[in-house]
Chains A and B, each alone.
Chain A
Amino acid sequence: MNKKLSLKNAGTFLVFGGPSIFAFAAVVIIPFIVGLYLTFTNWDVRTGDSSLIGFTNYLEVFRDKVFLQQLWFTLKYVFFTVVIANVFAFFIALALTRGGRGEQWLRTGFFTPNLVGGIVLGYLWQTLFSQVLPYLGAKYGWELFQTSWLTNTGTAFWALIIATAWQLVGYLMIIYIAGFTGVPNDVLEAASIDGAGRTSVIRRIILPLTVPAIVICIFISLSRSFLTYDINLALTKGGPFNSTELATYHIVQKAFLSNQYGVGQAEAVVLFAVVAIIALTQSYLLKKLEVES
């Protein structure tokens, strides 16, 4: 009987889960394993030659000073993107759950950038930064916008962050809105009867009760901004003089432009490890802050 039941379960599982498992294996697991194998070879697409060379590629990664610099650059970029995107998303979501007029329209408006592909979005911002803003800057004498933000190492960094955060905000906002609607009304009412002000309601009630949403949002923004490639490509192309190359961009250049597949792939594995460690640690630590209402 039990055996039959488990067979039955397996069948049901295969019907519903099989296709997804197959798809997941085909586009994630198998490529990951093949990629891992690739890091131990000196494969070259031009000749098709490949032999095992052990950990040489990984040693090369840590000798590649440019990659380590760019990994550090990526960390800075991710930090600011995550903070800015989440703070904005949180407060926009807060403002859009108060029952005001036109809320639905505004929500849609803020979400739209998320529907635009990264490449298109990058070109859009590129036009803004390199043409529209300098034009306005020259017209009205704004010092800040006299020259394109994309041609200066420092400002290009912020341009990259603004464009990414702008795209992320809408998506995170939706999750925050869902989180806020989960805050029980009676708790909020009790607080207002006790005379709590708006800030203390946010600090002492809304924030602790939306920790699950915050965990998810930070996780999503972390992994997304670590893997930003399209915006980087379209907005700055890594310039000026490679100063805004994110780790992913560097990896693609290394593999496809410099023809060092093994090293590029090893760098990708290192990046994967960094992202995994940071994302898992944050969600583990923040989960401890969760409270029941």
Chain B
Amino acid sequence: MKLRKAASFAIALTVVTGLLAGCSKGNSANGAVKEEKGETPAAEQAAKDVKLTFFNTSAEVNTVFEELFKKYHEQNPQVTIELIPTPIGGAQLEKFQSLLASGNPATIVNLDAGTILQYKDDFLDLEPEKAKYEALTNPGAIDGALLDGQFLGIPWTAQGYGLLYNKRAVEEGIGGAFDPASVKTRDDLEAVFKKIEASGKAPVMLHGADWSLGAHYLGLTYSLQSQKVEDNRKFVEELKNGQVKLTENPQFTGLMDTFDLLKKYNARKSDPLVADYNRDSADFAKGAAAFYFMGDWSWAVIGTLEGRDADFGILPLPVSNNPEDFGNTQVAYSEPKLFAIDDSKSTPEQQEAAKAFIEWMVSSEDGQKAIITDMGLSMPYKDLKAKSTNVMSNAVSEYVKQGKIINIGVINYLPQDYWAKTGAAMQKYLVGNIDRQGLAQEVQDYWKSYAGK
């Protein structure tokens, strides 16, 4: 009897201490990794197995990445890569932060450039790799990826946005061939819209989500100030200090005048905030609306759609009635996601393996095929070994080749909540809850709350 009690007590004690030990073990292991860092010669480790983790915020292409990891593992059996997926459109940043805070960050991350900048101390400086990537990519691609002048992340995808158009819908609306170059000003655009409306079609689809309105639409205010990202950053600083009155800023007023136009001819006029991305994209792709303020990434939805039209293109968003003004002939363009390598907990051999893997991903035939064909993205790289089926990104590429782009790099330096907060103000404006003055006020108030930060 006594023995049983003693035994049960002992078991309980082992269970509890075991659990506690299990808890602390993780910590000490992490500590060990840190101590090890820099001491073990890389060469000695090279033959050993390396395990990498890959944190992915491009959630819609999780499976393509996983296939790539498998392929790479077949070619390089000593390297295993594990995907840390995130859900589409939610809690991505939260997950990244909790991994970091728990001392368990991913070796490679695929993150927004702005996020990498915020955590720049945790990422490896890729300066030694810069020359190699400059040779691999299109001119300007690496410059566009620099964050505060530092090369912290490798660009692998490029995106552009503006006024997408459905060629068939536009041509049926205006009753003739459509030449995108004929729209150089806001009035030109309105003339086209009028014709389309008269034919009984909806002229334009305006997606009512805060990210589209806040980051892509209103965000152009900052990028349109100048061709130089530096100047645009200065403009944002002036907004924070309250030195700028938006209602007196020609770029802002021009943009909002165009917005009024889109609002007037919006296919979702009766219920503008519905913001169902799949439905809006599908309606546009099937010709229910002739134009769509969106980017080439919508191909992921449109490309596989049944019964869609075949010909699409992109127009710059006209922001004034002077065809010479900056923005009227340029489409917004950026390298939104970068691959970066962790430098807080990863071992040198992990980092070396990560570098090799990323290079393989962006330069090998397998990698490029996966990115261009399977993901439907465009890459800012030279001599691509795969042909893109994304009609829209091909249209964007034409503008890139001619140098007709708005560099929207300033968004990398903006606080993370700007699109949600200013997007909400734009939504209010869209449904007529506030007027132009009120919108300017709310946006200015938002920036002032970041004064000195």
Contact = CB atoms under 8 A, between A and B. Distances in A.
B305 interface: no
A10 B16 CA distance: 14
A10 B8 CA distance: 10
Contact of A147 (B97, B270, B416, B420): B270
14 contacts: A8-B5, A11-B9, A14-B16, A15-B12, A45-B101, A47-B121, A134-B271, A148-B274, A151-B273, A151-B275, A241-B428, A242-B424, A257-B420, A259-B118
Sorting the interface of chain B by its residue count into under 10, 10 to 19, 20 to 34 or 35 or more gives 35 or more
B100 A45 contact: yes
Contacts of A26: 23
**Interface SS of chain A:** helix
Contacts of B13: 14
A239 to B, nearest CB: 7
Say which size band chain A's interface belongs to: 20 to 34
A256 B101 contact: no
A253 B420 contact: yes
Interface in B161-195: none
B12 A151 contact: no
Given A151-B273, A241-B425, A257-B416, A14 B12 contact: yes
Contact of A22 (B16, B271, B433): B16
SS of B interface (majority): helix
Given A148-B271, A253-B417, A259-B118, 4 more contacts: A45-B100, A46-B118, A239-B210, A239-B273
A131 interface: yes
Contacts of A146: 270
A8 B7 CA distance: 11
Contacts, number: 87
A112 interface: no
Contact of B274 (A10, A14, A45, A151): A151
B93 A257 contact: yes
A182 interface: no
A253 B373 CA distance: 36
Nearest to B16: A18
A240 B11 CA distance: 56
B218 to A, nearest CB: 13
B15 interface: yes
A253 B415 CA distance: 13
A293 interface: no
B19 interface: yes
Contacts of B275: 151
A240 B16 CA distance: 49
Contacts of A131: 276, 279
Interface string A212-237: 00000000000000000000010000
B20, B93, B417, most chain A CB atoms within 10 A: B417
